[in-house]
Amino acid sequence: ILDIAHGEWSRDGWIAPHNSYLHILYRAGIIGIAYIISIVILLFSMINKSLKLKSISGILLCGILINWLAAANFLVILELPFNAIPFWSLFGLTYAYLFKTKAA
């Protein structure tokens, strides 16, 4: 009615679904499902490791990641650069913090 997103519809043919998981599924299909499952498995392994180590920092970092992944249900934040770069940086740093190996 208001002709707000006419340019985006005519250019892309699809407007983002306001859900990162549906957006990944729409764009990547079966590989996208495997991608989402691998993120969840890695997050659960990081939570498990931080609980085993009794690391408050690890638990808080995993909590931040859970918050971001919960927000991904309502926003497309895992793909857009201004949100994706801090998220994936924090995800990698948390993984490196929890699974660091001791040099011999």
Buried b (16+ CB within 10 A) or exposed e, 55-93: eeebeebbeebeebbeebeeebbbeeeebeeebeeebee
pLDDT digits (tens, 9 = 90+) for 30-60: 998 898 899 999 999 999 999 999 989 999 9
Q: In whole angstroms, what is the distance from residue 101 CA to residue 25 CA?
A: 34
Q: Could you tell me the pTM of the whole model?
A: 0.77
pLDDT digits (tens, 9 = 90+) for 87-99: 999 999 999 999 8
Q: In whole angstroms, what is the distance from residue 44 CA to residue 37 CA?
A: 11
